[in-house]
Each structure stands twice: as structure tokens, then as C-alpha cells.
Structure 1
Amino acid sequence: MNRTRMYADTAPVVPSAGSVPTGQPGPPVPAATGGGRGWWWHLGEMALAMLVGMLLLGPLWDAAGTLLGVGATLGRPEVAALVMATNMTIGMTVWMRYRAHHWRGVVEMAAAMYVPFLLLVVPYRAGLLDGDGLLLGGHLLMVPAMVLVAVRHRHETPALVRRHPAVLALARRWPTGLALLMTVDVWVDPRVLSAWTMLVLPAGYLLIGVARRTLRGPGVLATQLAGLAAWLTLTLVAVAAGGRTAAWLVALGWLAHAGWDLVQHRTARVVPRGYTEWCGVLDVALAGSMILAILSTGG
């Protein structure tokens, strides 16, 4: 009996929504595997998980370095490279286990994070490579290493991973988590964005609509173009007004776009609901930080 047949015979049936008692571990859920588009999507998820690991853990290393007085040591290129590899590995490990990858694949992918930097530490210490070369070279070598590991395990039978309902609930809200993560810095250092950034808001919908060919429905393109015209007008008014008035117009423009996201989220005609959720939370967070920056200046 091959491994795929064995898995099919022993894997439990996934119950319907609401059949898992609250607070109890959910059923083992296999990961989505395969080649082609799903394989590339998996690599994209991995890259995003690594980025999240760096964004979340990087500030913690900085704080620990300051507290323990080892900031200079952590700033050395070879140490910084290994710290970065650690941050990426932690983010990648959490996501791979959530996606039901076996530990052997996780370990090999972790090696793909560390080995390129470890190989380049030798020429760096010998003076044949500078710090920038060490970091850049490590990242360049990391890409083919990740691809090799992904290719090696592309047909692997998923592991059985029991996911708690709370974990599943958080995973379903990943666009919100990503948006909040991306706006951490603006809450630490609130500032008003340029008025021209408002043009990014409607442009995103139009570009995605073109790529997904979702602008062909009745009135869809006209609605998106009307939105572009509205935010273009608001941008030009803000540029002409300048000063505190422009700052308020920019903040309110971003906040208004959150309402646009909500409408688009309900219809899901142009962009995926994950995008509208991410965009709406991002808009509210940035608008809130800009309002805070305006109020804190007092003038």
C-alpha cells in the first residue's frame, strides 16, 4: 500500500462548520499541495511568512540588544545575517506547520535560510567580501535553495496537523493581521502622507480588475473610473490648499476609501475579499495615524 493510499484510508472526515466544539482542537486538516500554480502560490506564501517574521521579530532583537548592551554585536554583518535568517525561519516554520508540512521539509527549508549566509561568512571573515556583499549574496543564494527544497517536497503527502478553532479564526483574518503589521511604524511615528498617495487607492482596484478581467460587468468599469475621478479631484484640491487643510483632506480621503473597501468587500465584483479586507484595515490605520499626527501638531 503506498503512502497516498494509506493517508486516504486513515485521514478523518473534516466536519462541517460549527460541528467542532468551541475551545476543542479542530480535526487534522491536510495542506494543499501540488505543482503548477499551487506550487508557485506556496512559494509566495513562504516569502510572505518570512517577511512577517522579520517585521515582527526585528524590533524585538533591537530592544533586546539595547537592554543587554549587545547592540554593537548584533549590528555586525555576520551576526545580523544570522539574526535575519532566524527571524525568517521562525515565520516560515509557523506557516509551514500550519499548512501541514512535515518537519523534515521544515528543517530543510530552515537550512535554506542559514546555509547561504554560513557559506559566505568564510570569505567575509577572510576579507574577500564586505558586509553588503555578505547580506546580498546570502539572499541571492537563498532563492534557489528554497526552490530546490520546494521541488523536492512538491509531491509529499501532507502531515496531519490538529488546528485549534482559535488558530483557524486568526488564520482566516490574515489580511487584517498583515495590514496591522504593515502600519506598526506609523503609530510609533505618526505622519501625514503626501496628497498624491491618494491616487494609489483607486489605481489598485483598476489594476487588479484589469489583471483579473473583472471590469467587464455592467457599470463596473464606470464605477471604478468614477472613484478614480473622485480621488483625483480630492488630491488636486489638497495640493492646491496646502498646509493643515491639505493634511485633513488626505487623512479623510484615506478614511473615505475604507468605506469604498467595505462596499467592494460586500460585492466582491472587482477584487478578492482578502484584498478589500486588507485595504480597508490599512486605510483606517493610516488615516487614524495621520489624524493623530495632525492633532499632535496643534497648528
Structure 2
Amino acid sequence: ANVEAYIDFEEDQDIESSILNSAKRDIKELHAAIQKHLADGCRGERLRSGVNMTIAGAPNVGKSSLLNFLSKKPTAIVSDIPGTTRDIVKTDLDIGGYPVNVRDTAGLRKDTSDVVELEGINRARAALDETDLILVVLDAQIVASASNLQTAMINISSYIDSLGVPALRDVMGSRPYSSVRKCIVIVNKMDLIVDKALMQALKLEFGDGLCLISCKTKEGMDEMMQSLSSCLKELCGNPSSENPCFTQPRHRYCLEETCNALARFSSYTDAEVDLAAQEMRNALYSLGKITGHVTIEDILDIIFKEFCIGK
């Protein structure tokens, strides 16, 4: 309203240019506030629609057994035959109070000629590109065969590379728990390991980014659930103590439009105030898609109230 008043009534009503400067300051603060909300990492959307969590790994490492443990029922078929899981098995869970969309995927391998299994593997890789959290499951024997910690880490890295998933390439370089796409390495079948000293050293190295479990004996499951809860909290935030979040992608899109319009407004000079005002209208229109339409009558009411024009 201040900008519109400056444009339409500046000469007749002697409206000072400080009104325009004040509007610019307000716009700058609003732009910064919206950007801060947009940088929330889609936490609100995850709280509303659920965190997408995908279980991945080679055949017969215990992915389906892990899914059944998490869902507390036989959601997926468990078999010693490699390639039992062909399609993506989905289920919705509550983990630590957070909604989670869990997906069990086909075992990732390259040495198969089964057309159906290959399609399942392709779908698994596509799912991993769209997920928020990846649980990479591996057989504890891969780690136990190493002679020292460094070799154990190399073995894990080689295993992850063998899965052929681009989304997992930076897991070992940045540590799983701190990577952009959250990832936790799940070392399964710990019940088969006698000397666990190397395993514990690996756990100290990775912290919450690595869990040592046995789906058969339930060893390490409590610690794994704690790590999952911590990771989910980081992905979703704490809605009771943080600023309000967006819960729909449409709201985020509208605010991005608003932010872009405000940025364009700030790029204009005082001599281009007419063009700047149009960007203000664009920003207001985008905000109106969320809050409700703002009419020209609303703007005129503020102008007449603030500047006593027409009296």
C-alpha cells in the first residue's frame, strides 16, 4: 500500500520518499523471513505425508526380515532363495512418533538374467533416488573377514559400490549419518560373529550411522531403533518447539514465487518504482493463493487510512 500511495499520490499529497525506503526495508525483512522458512528441508511435508525410507542391499542380507521386524508382522516373504523380493513392498509405520513410508526393495546385483528380477532391481534403484532415508543392509561376514578397521571400511565401501546406486556413492566419504540423503548402514547377522571387537571399533567410528544387529536373535535392535528415531527427528524436526512448517508442496511453491517476486522488487531503482510495484502485486498474488485473495479495495482502504487521502 505504501508503494502504491507513493506512485499515485506522491505529487498531490506530498508523500515523502521515506515511505518508499520504509517499504524497501520491510520487503527485505519479509524476503529474509520467507527464505528462512523455505530452508526448512521439507520437514513439514514429511510430517504430513511421512518420511520415505527405503531398505536396500544385496540379495539374502536380511532386508525383508528387517522390514518384518519394523512392521511387527510378516509384511514381506522371507526365503533363502536369492531374488525372492521382485517388486517394491510398501508399508506405512510409526517410528518414534514419526510417520514413515517404508519400502523393501529387490536385492541389488548384476549377475542375473531373470527379466522380472531385473525390472525389480531397476525399480529399487529408482526408489533410492527419491527417498529421504536409506537403510543399507549388509552381511556381517563382509566386515568380519577384514583384518583391521581400515580394511573393514574398505570392504563396506566396496560393497556399497557394488550395489550400483548413485545415491549411495558419497556414503563412505561423508559418513552415512551426515550425508545429504540420510543413510544408515545396517550390519545384519551379528549372531554368526564370534569375535566382535572389530565390529565394536567400527561402531565407534561411525556412531549412529552404523547399527550392528541380528534379525534372527534381535541383537542390537533397540540401539537401531534409537538411531532411526534420532535420524527421523532430524528429518522432521520438532513441531512443538520450532517455527511452523509447510505441510503441503503447494504452499512451498507459492512462497517460492513470492520470494522471487520480492527479489525482483529489490533489484529496481527508485526511478523504476512502477515496475517494482508490479513485482509487489505479483508477490501479493502468490501469497493470496495461501492466505486468501487480497483485493484492490483492501489496498485502497490502507492507503486512505494511513495517508488521509480523499479527506
TM-score relative to the length of structure 2 = 0.23
Q: Which protein is bigger by CA-based radius of gyration?
A: 2
TM-score relative to the length of structure 1 = 0.23
Normalized per residue, which structure has more strand?
2
Normalized per residue, which structure has more helix?
1
